[in-house]
Amino acid sequence: MKVINDNNCSWINDLNARTNIKVLTTNKNCDWLIIGAGYTGLSAARKLGQLYPNQNIILVDAQLAGEGASSRNSGYLVDTTLNDGFTSNKELENYKKKTDIYKLGIDTVKKFIKEHQVDCEWNECGKYFASSAIEDKNILINFSETLSKLGFENNLLYKDQLIKRLGTSFYNLALHTKGGILLHPGKLVRAMIDTLPNNVQLFEKSSLLDWKKNNDIVSCNFKNGNITTKKIIFATNGYLKSLGIKTNYNFPITLTASMTRALTDEEFKSIGEPKEWGVLPVKPMGATIRMTKDRRILIRNTAEVHNPFKMSQSDLDKRSIKQRIGIKKRFPQLPEDIIKSSWSGIVSRTRNSSQIFEKIDYNIFVAGCYNGSGIGVGTLFGEQIAIKASNEQTKEIETIEARKKPTWLPPQPFLDLGIKTRLIYERIRARSEI
Ligand SMILES: Cc1cc2nc3c(=O)[nH]c(=O)nc-3n(C[C@H](O)[C@H](O)[C@H](O)COP(=O)(O)OP(=O)(O)OC[C@H]3O[C@@H](n4cnc5c(N)ncnc54)[C@H](O)[C@@H]3O)c2cc1C
């Protein structure tokens, strides 16, 4: 099926439209083929381009490169997360393994932006795990203990402090963690496209329809041509399942988000002129909400099982209303019609929130499933899966592979039923936080 995206994402619309888009129109042969040009695929292509300057590397995306979830996210480059939606990592050892990967992810992005002098509005301001519900205090205290044991600086804050810092009296308490970065996700991924090595050919608006392995060659079928390759890396994240990859281990979830226009001077004064900040919810289905450097408010407060290939405008409008209500609850003084854009994006999940990083056959590799940590972890996994596919070993690969493997998922219709029930339960638990 064809991925049909809305054209409403502010992060994308902030950038100049790209030119020189190449669509696949003939048959090709290559040494390396990468499917999916988000953070993962672009990073894999960048690494392969460096490793093999004389080999033929092709990167293909169904839409414009970078314009999937990699441009449509909330822009938190995380060092810690409180939960992954479906399972929280309670054991310290497991939590440490997760944060070790996050750290490597941050280092990889940092190295990339330093090397290429990328302006992606990088702000090391940390983030807040916030709640309006006083009863969430125990969750935050436990979380604070876990973080302190692992050396993450954190600070419990109450309503009066939060009003000053966030400009809203909605939250009663929050744990501020010092690490973690806020950035402009569209600018970051655009820089990855602009700096692709010369020996990487990029084809866009070219959907992989099906693929098969014949002996040691993989043959891929697109609408207007075939590509045969010696090695392939699947970096399609939320679309892994639709390509028949690790189907019993991952499933797509659709998220929607909205962004306001920039607040006027008067509006900004009315909320106390706060500095840029980012809030993550204590309960998994609560709202992620962010004040950008240029005074826009971003909110994401839906996560659902939906057709990953398309969301109709009327479905998107319904979700945008939820986001308008979420903003109104926090900033009642702002006008009703302040939202400038609303969009949907697809992430990939596993049952135990573990990521996929694997060789699935002799010459076939896959990386994905990062939930809300794909900016850093996707960039890291992209580079490292390219190294793994080159039969090399790194300390990063050891760290990645030290994590638990994704666990098996039940077949349909039990899977959808289970996910939907869980999402409804989480939504009810988080109803005050949406
Ligand atoms: C609303 C929202 C908020 C989020 N917030 C955050 C956040 O704050 N921090 C964070 O770290 N992460 C966040 N995420 C998750 C993050 O965006 C993803 O983890 C990340 O984009 C994954 O990168 P990727 O390159 O693996 O996948 P993607 O960016 O999804 O790229 C995969 C690409 O594969 C292409 N593709 C799919 N099927 C085919 C096919 N058949 N043929 C060719 N190409 C194909 C797609 O077009 C797409 O461009 C959020 C996601 C959403 C949607």
C-beta of residue 80 within 8 angstroms of C-beta of residue 180 = yes
C-beta of residue 402 within 8 angstroms of C-beta of residue 386 = no
Q: Is 86 in the pocket of ligand 1 (CB under 6 A)?
A: no
The pair of three-digit structure tokens given for residue 329, joined into one six-digit string: 């609850």
Backbone angles phi, psi at 153, to 5 degrees: -65, 130
* Residue 227 alpha carbon to ligand 1 centre in Å: 23
> Looking at beta carbons, which pairs linking 209-216 to residues 24 or more positions away fall under 8 Å?
211/243, 213/361, 213/363, 213/364, 216/362, 216/363
Q: Is 74 in the pocket of ligand 1 (CB under 6 A)?
A: yes
* Residue 69 alpha carbon to ligand 1 centre in Å: 3
Q: Is 237 in the pocket of ligand 1 (CB under 6 A)?
A: yes
Q: Is 260 in the pocket of ligand 1 (CB under 6 A)?
A: no
CA distances from 157 to 16, 141, 150, 232 (A): 40, 11, 20, 48
Residue nearest to atom 50 of ligand 1 (CA): 73
Backbone angles phi, psi at 41, to 5 degrees: -65, -40
Q: Is 400 in the pocket of ligand 1 (CB under 6 A)?
A: no
Give residue 3's pLDDT.
Answer: 87
Atom of ligand 1 nearest to the CA of 66: 49
Q: Is 356 in the pocket of ligand 1 (CB under 6 A)?
A: no
Residue nearest to atom 33 of ligand 1 (CA): 36
Give residue 85's pLDDT.
Answer: 42
Q: Is 70 in the pocket of ligand 1 (CB under 6 A)?
A: yes
Give residue 426's pLDDT.
Answer: 87
* Residue 215 alpha carbon to ligand 1 centre in Å: 31
Q: Is 72 in the pocket of ligand 1 (CB under 6 A)?
A: yes
pLDDT tens per residue across all 434 residues of the chain = 788 888 899 999 999 999 999 999 999 999 999 999 999 999 999 999 999 999 999 999 999 999 999 999 999 999 999 975 444 556 888 899 999 999 999 999 999 999 999 999 999 999 999 999 999 999 999 999 999 999 999 999 999 999 999 999 999 999 999 999 999 999 999 999 999 999 999 999 999 999 999 989 999 999 999 999 999 999 999 999 999 999 999 999 999 999 999 999 999 999 999 999 999 999 989 999 999 999 999 999 999 999 999 999 999 999 999 999 999 999 999 999 999 999 999 999 998 889 999 999 999 999 999 988 999 999 999 999 999 999 999 999 999 999 989 999 988 898 899 999 988 988 999 999 99
DSSP summary character for residue 239: G
Q: Is 374 in the pocket of ligand 1 (CB under 6 A)?
A: yes
Q: Is 63 in the pocket of ligand 1 (CB under 6 A)?
A: yes
The pair of three-digit structure tokens given for residue 308, joined into one six-digit string: 């990953």
Q: Is 345 in the pocket of ligand 1 (CB under 6 A)?
A: yes
CA distance 185 to 434: 23
Distance of CA 80 to the CA centre of its chain: 14
Give residue 90's pLDDT.
Answer: 61
Residue nearest to atom 21 of ligand 1 (CA): 70
Residue nearest to atom 49 of ligand 1 (CA): 68
* Residue 237 alpha carbon to ligand 1 centre in Å: 6
Which residue from 85, 19, 125, 181 is spatially nearest to 423, judged by alpha carbons?
A: 85
Sign for the pseudo-dihedral over CA of 347, 349, 354, 357: negative
What ranges in 331-394 are assigned the alpha helix state H?
374-389
Residues in contact with 107: Cβ distance below 8 Å, sequence separation at least 6, in sequence order: none
Pairing type for strands 251-260 and 297-304 reads antiparallel
CA distance 207 to 221: 9
Tally of CB atoms within 10 A around 261: 16
Residue nearest to atom 30 of ligand 1 (CA): 69
Distance of CA 1 to the CA centre of its chain: 22
C-beta of residue 433 within 8 angstroms of C-beta of residue 282 = yes
Q: Is 61 in the pocket of ligand 1 (CB under 6 A)?
A: yes
Q: Is 382 in the pocket of ligand 1 (CB under 6 A)?
A: no
CA distance 66 to 71: 6
Sign for the pseudo-dihedral over CA of 36, 40, 44, 50: positive
CA distance 253 to 82: 19
Q: Is 238 in the pocket of ligand 1 (CB under 6 A)?
A: yes
CA distances from 416 to 32, 250, 254, 411 (A): 35, 12, 13, 9
Q: Is 252 in the pocket of ligand 1 (CB under 6 A)?
A: no
Pocket test for ligand 1, best of 8, 22, 24, 74 (most atoms within 8 A of CB): 74
Distance of CA 120 to the CA centre of its chain: 16
End-to-end, the C-alpha distance of the chain in Å comes to 32
C-beta of residue 49 within 8 angstroms of C-beta of residue 197 = yes
Sign for the pseudo-dihedral over CA of 165, 171, 177, 183: negative
Pocket test for ligand 1, best of 375, 377, 380 (most atoms within 8 A of CB): 375
**Which amino acid, residue 363?**
N
